[in-house]
Structure 1
Amino acid sequence: MVSTIKDRTPGFAVALVVAIVSQFLTLVIPDVGAATISIILGIILGNTFVKQAVLSAGTKFAEKRLLEYSVMLLGLTITFQTIIQLHWSGLLFIVIQMSVTIVAAIMIGKWLQFDDGIYLSMAGGNAVCGSSAIASIKPVINASDEDAGMAITLVNLMGTVLMLLLPILGTVVFGSSDMHRGALIGGTVQSVGQVIASATMVNQSTVEFATLFKIMRIIMLVVIVMVFARIHQHNVSEKQTVEEVEADVKKHKIDFLPWYVLWFLIFCIANSFVHLPSLVGTTAHFLSSWCEIIALAAIGLRLNLQAFLKAGKRFAIYSLGVGTIQVVVALVLIKLLIH
């Protein structure tokens, strides 16, 4: 136990320092957000000055465990009562928007010949809540650390682009309608932090609407994890004989609901039906945000930039393609459904 902690300390400490520096940098560039700064700063340092092998154990621990804790704690910040506030049209908008995003990410990913570790991570990250969704999906689809890391990087970079673009686009298309602008931002932008930052560029009313739509997407996380587990199982089964499938089921029972997604659901239910002190939600949000930022720093530190750039053209086409479809579909659906 002592040896394990000793091995993990250097890498974890570096990720923590990167996260703290990222938080301070938001004072200079507040529109970008600590999560995005953290992963970009991690990538720069991890591919230049901070490449020591001694850091590997700590950064791997931070990448895996802290994202899991972030997902779990997120359950204490949301309630199912949110669905009622969106009405049927808002709920229908979110369901269709997420479905189209997932289908588009899978189809484009297959067309570009990515394996399911990449395209399912991209689908979940873009449709639900960025890094947290990918962390939840990763174990049930057996995605490699490299695939998940690349997907998280792409999702965060596209989220930054949309975060800056959508307040302008929403105002051009919908004028001064805060609900419509909130639906566009909350139904499209990837991470929770990016949604809040983007809506803040408009006004507080837009922040409230954007948050409601975003929470609705997060509530769907449990369903997405279970569906993606089934998709991955089907993909694997197609490549195996009947005997191999039976042997694989006996040896490796697929975990359709990782422990932290289960706790996310339990916390969400508790928060929905039990009046918890406001301090609980505030503390959970604070800890969840810090877990995510430190984990993103670790992901950046571990990302092999050369391998990423080698596939750069395909990744750029993929990210831009999915992002464009998300925005266009959201604009059409908001016009049709939300009045």
Structure 2
Amino acid sequence: MKTQDFIQQKLTNFKDIFPGLIVCILIGLVAKYLGTLVPTLGGATIAILLGLLLGNTVLTHKKLHKGIRFSESNLLSYSIVLLGGTLSYTVILELGVSGVSFIILQMALTIAFCLFVGKQLGFSENFRLLMASGNAVCGSSAIGATAPVIKANDVEKSITITLVNLTGTILMMILPFLTNLLYENETMLSSALIGGTLQSVGQVVGSASMVNHDVLKYATIFKIVRIIFLVFVILGFAKLKKDEENHDAELHHKKPNAKIKIPWYVKGFFLMCFLFSIGFISENISLGFKQISNYLEIFALAGIGMSVKFKDLMKAGLKSGVYCLAIGIAQIIIAIILIWILL
């Protein structure tokens, strides 16, 4: 392809993307500002709700679709890579064996619960896997990272992100009362309940801030360790789907493909995490990565909200609400039991 043709194609692609991208950015900026006024909701949840409202009413023009698609997919991928540059493996040492064991078991049991109960309720495997990753690891970032690996469609991804964020927002306001009731706000136990349960970093920060500064610090560490394990959850789900594909291929007398394709953003996340851990990425640069990552996630969530249609949510219906409620209650109960045993 000639250089001139290549540039022309890129300009055409940019023109197609620009309208929807600008809309998502504007919604995200408004949501970010409103999140500072209403911290109990936070910018992420507000971005989804605004996107959901506007995407089903006044912002429905077809010219916005490509930009919205770009925002919800590409921007979230970039956010995930930059997030890796804010995480250090050394934080694992701060929690010790009992703290890390708590996180691993909490994540494993949450995933098992999501998959089992979701199957009993008749949800598709992809929907269950997305709910499992979102609730067990880090909300929308985990869902965005998992969706391409398991070949989930946009409707499944958008609806699960919306449901997981709404569930996390409700739990965010409940957990400070529970930590006071159960543990009298003791630092490590309260931190484990909040940091080991809530879906997004913003929700952890918001909830822990309602308790005290020490709980905020350690709850964030619990959450960061969960995010570090995101790579292993994705690889596990990828292997699960690949094994199923290979089994289907054998049944149809086709040659199985045993290779697991790891998405570029997962590799990028892992690499950035490694570079920050060895000190190649400075604290100041990491802070910049964190801020940029947060903005990109907000813009992506605005696009995700705009992609969710009311008719799709209606199809999900009461059964999805029951599913989310069951997961939230199960996460709290599992965490309380594990805290009693391990911490």
Shorter-chain TM-score bucket reads: over 0.9
Deviations 1:11-44 (A, max 9, x none): 1111111101101212321221100100011001
Name 1:313's counterpart in structure 2: 318
Q: CA deviation at 1:279?
A: 1.2
Specify which of 182, 185, 191 is matched with residue 182 of structure 1: 191
SS in 1 for 2:255: helix
- Name the CA distance, whole Å, in 1 between partners of 2:223 and 2:190: 13
Specify which of 17, 20, 26 is matched with residue 29 of structure 2: 20
Q: CA deviation at 1:206?
A: 0.6
- Name the CA distance, whole Å, in 1 between partners of 2:330 and 2:244: 25
- CA separation of 1:140/1:245 partners in 2, compared to 1, >3 Å: closer, same or farther? farther
Q: Which residue type is aligned with residue 178 of structure 2? A: L
Normalising by the residue count of structure 2, what TM-score does the alignment of the two structures yield?
0.94
> Any stretches of 5+ residues in structure 1 without a counterpart?
none
Q: Percent identity?
A: 40
Name 1:297's counterpart in structure 2: 302
Specify which of 272, 283, 287 is matched with residue 282 of structure 1: 287
Q: Which residue type is aligned with residue 277 of structure 1? A: S
Q: CA deviation at 1:99?
A: 0.4
- CA separation of 1:46/1:176 partners in 2, compared to 1, >3 Å: closer, same or farther? same
**For the Cα contact (< 8 Å) 1:116–1:232, is it kept in 2?**
no
Which portions of structure 1, spanning 4 or more consecutive aligned residues, are displaced by more than 6 angstroms? none
> Any stretches of 5+ residues in structure 2 without a counterpart?
1-9
Answer yes or no: is 1:209 the counterpart of 2:218: yes
Specify which of 31, 35, 57 is matched with residue 44 of structure 2: 35
Normalising by the residue count of structure 1, what TM-score does the alignment of the two structures yield?
0.95
Specify which of 92, 95, 98 is matched with residue 83 of structure 1: 92
SS in 2 for 1:120: helix
- Name the CA distance, whole Å, in 2 between partners of 1:306 and 1:93: 39
- Name the CA distance, whole Å, in 2 between partners of 1:123 and 1:244: 32
- Name the CA distance, whole Å, in 1 between partners of 2:267 and 2:174: 35
Answer yes or no: is 1:118 the counterpart of 2:99: no
Q: CA deviation at 1:237?
A: 4.0
Deviations 1:100-156 (A, max 9, x none): 000000111111111121000000000000111111111110000110111111110
Name 2:14's counterpart in structure 1: 5
**For the Cα contact (< 8 Å) 1:121–1:134, is it kept in 2?**
yes
SS in 2 for 1:128: helix
Name 2:230's counterpart in structure 1: 221
- Name the CA distance, whole Å, in 2 between partners of 1:9 and 1:176: 48
- Name the CA distance, whole Å, in 2 between partners of 1:244 and 1:148: 32
- CA separation of 1:179/1:147 partners in 2, compared to 1, >3 Å: closer, same or farther? same
- Name the CA distance, whole Å, in 2 between partners of 1:63 and 1:266: 23
Name 2:117's counterpart in structure 1: 108
Answer yes or no: is 1:263 the counterpart of 2:272: no
Deviations 1:215-242 (A, max 9, x none): 1101101110110011122333444444
SS in 2 for 1:266: helix
- Name the CA distance, whole Å, in 1 between partners of 2:254 and 2:117: 28
Q: CA deviation at 1:80?
A: 0.6
> RMSD of the alignment, in Å?
1.4
Q: CA deviation at 1:274?
A: 2.0
Specify which of 127, 146, 154 is matched with residue 145 of structure 1: 154
Q: Which residue type is aligned with residue 62 of structure 1? A: S
Specify which of 103, 110, 113 is matched with residue 94 of structure 1: 103
- CA separation of 1:72/1:237 partners in 2, compared to 1, >3 Å: closer, same or farther? same
Q: Which residue type is aligned with residue 293 of structure 1? A: I
SS in 2 for 1:16: helix
- Name the CA distance, whole Å, in 2 between partners of 1:167 and 1:294: 29
Deviations 1:188-222 (A, max 9, x none): 00011111111111111111110110011011011
